[in-house]
């Protein structure tokens, strides 16, 4: 795939001596679960791997996307031996909560429940997502630190790995690779330039890097998620009990569906999902409208709030209040990456510059699946491993390398087909509502030709 015309190939070589201090074989743009998993998998696959991970997140800002299934345990353990232990320690002190099962009023108005008793991995989590993401970044930082026995001068792969706080602003093609521009986040920071052979877009749904390289995101629907945090006052009310419900609760309604889960720190998340064109979407943008819809369209979600005296959380200062709105549609990136292999006479070796996307940048799921975060982590694990093998193998035997992008694209296609099949099944189960929302969801599934 060719770049946009404004990003045309330059003759300036990637290995220019002046740029050596800022060269990394791999630059990962985005410090969320997908980006961190890619970095950790690179190290796991090849301890000598070198990379730069760019992160512009704010760990103080609330982030939705708190469900982590128990199947994540072996993957987290693979990525970092300390990662799973840290997650369990944080859970024990209340930074994260366990999920004791799933409850849904989906097929009918009555609750159906499933429990993790038969799951070999036990219970999943309701995370403090911002805290969890920072834990992942800490694992990457630890991997970037020089070993204790290394002297002041430093040596080894760890000195060629870095987590950089910065905001990606631009990319251009140069001889043998890429040049990436980054704005510093700190007040005294200046713009920096880095060079790489491979780029990984882990910027989430916005796919900032991939879009600059000419890729397009195809949206399969227009689902939005309106969400709000509620704080419990049960400790100060003799007529209400503390919230002991650790389940994930889903409830279908005439114009969409609702979700609630207890979070750490005596908070409860409530989210409403509907199409952008549905009249209720406009109403849900205000707190009064959100609450009116909540009490008019749900039974079980509203009861969960009432039982423990939950009230809307009001944030101090100028922080954005609730409810907030975020995209929740299904989407996929085309293409998910590109690679060009050629012999570079200037450096006397075979070069394979390329790029690929991981996580929501590559494909984003409907929150109904509860698979977005674990899929992003698994994708990062896969991409990190395949890039690690590709980059190390390109020196020893270039002809033995598989088509990297083809391998990634085939894996992504399998994941997408499995997801779309499951989505069609679950939305197709709901026949008790005949409104436009449910008709559109069924039409989306039919048009996917699965």
Residue 6 pLDDT exceeds 50:
no
Distance CA 359, CA 45 (A): 19
Q: Which stretch of 100-104, 111-115, 164-168, 172-176 has the lowest confidence by average pLDDT?
A: 172-176
Distance CA 136, CA 141 (A): 9
Average pLDDT over all residues of the chain: 87
Q: Respond yes or no on whether the N-terminal peptide bond of residue 410 is cis (omega within 30° of 0).
A: no
The residue among 200, 216, 212, 204 whose CA lies nearest residue 353 is: 200
Beta carbons of 97 and 125 less than 8 angstroms apart? yes
- pLDDT reported for residue 188: 64
Distance CA 12, CA 360 (A): 33
The answer, as to whether pTM is greater than 0.75, is yes
Residue 175: band (very low, low, confident or very high) from pLDDT cuts 50, 70, 90: confident
Crossing angle for the helix pair 404-429 and 436-447, to the nearest 10 degrees: 140
- pLDDT reported for residue 434: 87
The residues, any chain, with a CB within 8 Å of residue 198's CB and separated by 6 or more, are 25, 26, 27, 177, 353, 354, 355, 356, 387, 391
Distance CA 234, CA 244 (A): 11
Distance CA 416, CA 346 (A): 41
- Position with higher pLDDT, 19 vs 70: 70
Q: Which residues pair with 272 in a beta bridge?
A: 226, 258
In this predicted model, what pLDDT tens digit does every residue of 190-232 receive, in sequence order?
889 999 999 999 999 999 999 999 999 999 999 999 999 999 9
Q: Which residues pair with 227 in a beta bridge?
A: 271, 324
Mean pLDDT (whole number) for 364-383? 97
**Alpha-carbon distances of 384 from 141, 303, 403, rounded to whole Å:** 16, 44, 15
- pLDDT reported for residue 370: 92
Beta carbons of 372 and 331 less than 8 angstroms apart? no
Unique residue bearing structure tokens 């969960």: 304
* Ordered structural domains, the chain, with CATH: 5-66+128-219+329-426 (3.50.50.60), 98-125+222-328 (3.30.9.100)
């Amino acid at each position: 795939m060719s770049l946009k015309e404004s990003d045309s190939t330059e003759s300036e070589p990637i290995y220019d001596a002046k740029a050596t201090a800022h060269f990394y074989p791999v630059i990962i743009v985005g410090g969320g679960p997908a980006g961190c998993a890619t970095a950790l998998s690179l190290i796991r696959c090849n301890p000598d791997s070198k990379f730069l991970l760019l992160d512009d997140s704010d760990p103080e800002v609330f982030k939705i996307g708190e469900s982590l299934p128990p199947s994540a345990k072996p993957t987290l353990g693979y990525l970092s031996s300390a990662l799973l232990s840290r997650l369990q320690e944080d859970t024990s002190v209340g930074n994260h909560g366990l999920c004791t099962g799933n409850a849904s009023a989906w097929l009918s108005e009555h609750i159906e429940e499933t429990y993790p008793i038969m799951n070999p991995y036990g219970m999943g989590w309701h995370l403090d997502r911002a805290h969890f993401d920072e834990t992942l970044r800490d694992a990457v930082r630890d991997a970037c630190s020089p070993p204790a026995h290394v002297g002041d001068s430093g040596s080894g792969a760890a000195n060629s790995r870095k987590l950089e706080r910065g905001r990606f602003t631009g990319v251009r093609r140069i001889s043998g690779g890429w040049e990436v521009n980054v704005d510093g986040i700190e007040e005294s920071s200046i713009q920096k330039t880095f060079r790489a052979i491979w780029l990984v877009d882990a910027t989430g749904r916005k796919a900032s890097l991939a879009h600059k390289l000419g890729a397009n995101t195809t949206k399969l629907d227009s689902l939005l998620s309106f969400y709000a945090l509620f704080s419990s006052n049960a400790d100060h009310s003799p007529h209400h009990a503390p919230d002991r419900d650790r389940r994930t609760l889903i409830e279908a309604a005439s114009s969409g569906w609702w979700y609630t889960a207890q979070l750490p720190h005596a908070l409860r998340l409530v989210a409403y999902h509907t199409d952008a064109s549905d009249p209720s979407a406009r109403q849900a943008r205000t707190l009064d409208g959100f609450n009116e819809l909540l009490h008019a369209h749900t039974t079980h979600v509203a009861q969960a709030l009432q039982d423990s005296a939950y009230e809307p959380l009001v944030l101090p200062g100028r922080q954005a209040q609730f409810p907030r709105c975020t995209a929740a549609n299904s989407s996929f990136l085309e293409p998910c990456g590109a690679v060009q292999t050629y012999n570079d006479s200037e450096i006397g070796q075979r070069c394979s510059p390329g790029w690929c996307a991981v996580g929501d940048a590559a494909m984003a799921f409907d929150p109904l699946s509860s698979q977005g975060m674990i899929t992003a982590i698994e994708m990062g694990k896969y991409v990190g491993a395949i890039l690690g093998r590709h980059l190390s193998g390109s020196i020893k035997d270039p002809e033995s390398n598989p088509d990297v992008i083809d391998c990634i694209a085939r894996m992504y296609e399998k994941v997408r087909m499995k997801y779309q099949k499951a989505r069609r099944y679950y939305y197709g189960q709901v026949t008790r509502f005949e409104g436009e929302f449910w008709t559109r969801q069924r039409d989306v599934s039919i048009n996917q030709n699965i």
